[in-house]
Amino acid sequence: MALLELSRVTHAYDSAHGFLQKSKQGTQAVVKDVSMTLEAGKCIGLLGGSGAGKSTLGKIMLGLQRPQSGTVLIHGKDMYTSDKRTKKQLRKHIQAVFQDCYSSVNSKMTAAQIISEPLDNFERLTSREKTYRIGEALDMVGLPASAINKLPKEFSGGQLQRINIARAMISNPSFIVLDEAVSSLDVANQVHIISVLRDLKEQRDMSYIFITHNLKAAFALCDQWTVMDHGKLCGSFSTKAEMMKSEEIAVKQLLDASLSTRPELGTIRKDRHFYAESGQREGAWA
Ligand X SMILES: Nc1ncnc2c1ncn2[C@@H]1O[C@H](COP(=O)(O)OP(=O)(O)O)[C@@H](O)[C@H]1O
Binding site for Mg ion (CB under 5 A): 55
C-beta closer to ligand X: residue 17 or 204: 17
**Residue 45 interacting entry, from ligand X, Mg ion, none, C-beta within 5 to 8 Å by type:** none
| Shortest Cβ 216–ligand X spacing (Å) | 18
C-beta closer to ligand X: residue 15 or 278: 15
Interaction site with ligand X (CB under 6 A):
13, 17-19, 21, 30, 48, 50-56
- The C-alpha atoms of residue 168 and residue 123 are separated, in whole angstroms, by 14
| Shortest Cβ 145–ligand X spacing (Å) | 36
- The C-alpha atoms of residue 165 and residue 176 are separated, in whole angstroms, by 9
| DSSP secondary structure, 77-115, as one string | EETTTS-HHHHHHHHHTEEEE-S-TTTTS-TTS-HHHHH
**Residue 52 interacting entry, from Mg ion, ligand X, none, C-beta within 5 to 8 Å by type:** ligand X
Instruction: Say which DSSP state 268 is in.
Output: B
C-beta closer to ligand X: residue 103 or 127: 103
| Shortest Cβ 6–Mg ion spacing (Å) | 17
C-beta closer to Mg ion: residue 55 or 171: 55
- The C-alpha atoms of residue 214 and residue 228 are separated, in whole angstroms, by 13
C-beta closer to Mg ion: residue 99 or 207: 99
Angle between helices 157-169 and 127-140 (to 10 degrees): 130
- The C-alpha atoms of residue 237 and residue 251 are separated, in whole angstroms, by 10
**Residue 56 interacting entry, from ligand X, Mg ion, none, C-beta within 5 to 8 Å by type:** ligand X
Q: 69, 70, 68, 90: which is closest to 79 by C-alpha? A: 90
**Residue 13 interacting entry, from Mg ion, ligand X, none, C-beta within 5 to 8 Å by type:** ligand X
Instruction: Say which DSSP state 210 is in.
Output: E
| Shortest Cβ 282–ligand X spacing (Å) | 31
